[in-house]
Amino acid sequence: MKTIQLNRFGIENLQVVSTEKPAPGAHEVLVKVEAASFNFLDLMMINGYYNPDLAFPYTPGSDAAGIVESIGSAVTRWKKGDRVITHFIQTWIAGSKSIVDFQNRTGLEKPGVLREYICISEDALIATPANLSSAEASTLPIAGLTAWTGLIDYANLKPGQTILTQGTGGVSVFALQIAKAMGARVIATSGSADKLERLKALGAHEVINYRDTPDWHVEAKRLTNGRGVDAILDVGGTETLTKSVYAVKADGFVGLVGNLSGAVVPFNIYDTVPNNATLRGISVGSRESFEAFARAIELTTLKPVIDRVFPFDAVQEAYRYMESKTFFGKIIIAFP
């Protein structure tokens, strides 16, 4: 079978190689992968930023969807032919996650998905929503579930409330779509006039160009009559987090999602004390939340936004495209 492997750090070192097709253990499922989607976590792994002691050869990728090819002797949750999606934190089924769960992440401690067939625990899969293709479904495990968990489970978003999204990556676009489906108001930011138009077409009520308006937190307050937004999923880190805190209302919610501009934030606690803002890290979500998200997708007919689909052999080009940060939504690899 075809497998994408890395033998040393750097996108230029990604190669398509032939490896043996695996066989499932007693509690494992063999999945024929049909599509996978990219996350910035992939780039951090490939370039050596996340784990400089990574063991090679390494296969990247955390998000995939496909069809059950065969099952192990003790598997009860799946049968041949089922359409399934991988779950990122494989052992986090419900409730609060544990330290052990963080040793069971797809594409980090567990094998990556950029291979034609994967063996994975029967508990680390959910059923693909009936209204999605495998390409669409592959966008859900990290970006989609992070947005869902942040807004629904943690921020407790209600109809009529207001959220602010940052940029046009997977988490932010999903946040816009989920908020719209919930009947919430969306203020979206981007540094591109073209992307702002696309955000409006997707349903954003107001947009802010953060290049033209670097104090976008002030504009967000103005757009909410001085009150502030109810929730923000902060994907920027260093350059955005303090402004996110300023932009939320009293008792507002700021979800810590990404670090696109850096992970270290010079922070004054008095930025949060006056308005009692809640800052919470978001580590994707449990399988229970993922299954709830999948049901909501079927009921609302939500469709993930896919920017481009690359062929399997164009993996280097696909990751270079992600590195450029010019995309809108999700980037997909289609399998042979």
Which of 190, 186, 124, 168 has the alpha carbon at shortest distance from 331? 168
Express each pLDDT in 117-163 by its tens digit: 999 999 999 999 999 999 999 999 999 999 999 999 999 999 999 99
Count Cβ atoms within 10 A of the Cβ of residue 289 and give its class: 0-12 exposed, 13-18 middle, 19 or more buried. Answer: middle
Whole-number pLDDT of residue 274? 75
pLDDT band at 275 (very low <50, low <70, confident <90, very high): confident
Query: Cα-flanking dihedrals φ and ψ of residue 154, to 5°?
Result: -100, -50
pLDDT band at 43 (very low <50, low <70, confident <90, very high): very high
Express each pLDDT in 303-332 by its tens digit: 999 999 999 999 999 999 999 999 999 999
Express each pLDDT in 176-234 by its tens digit: 999 999 999 999 999 999 999 999 999 999 999 999 999 999 999 999 999 999 999 99
Report residue 232 as tokens: 């923000």
pLDDT band at 99 (very low <50, low <70, confident <90, very high): confident
Arithmetic mean of pLDDT over the chain: 95
Would you give the DSSP letter of residue 21? P
Find the helix packing angle between 193-202 and 170-181, rounded to 10°.
30
List of domains in the chain: 2-139+304-334 (3.90.180.10), 144-281 (3.40.50.720)
Give strand pairing partners of 254: 232, 279
Encoded amino acid at 83, one letter: R
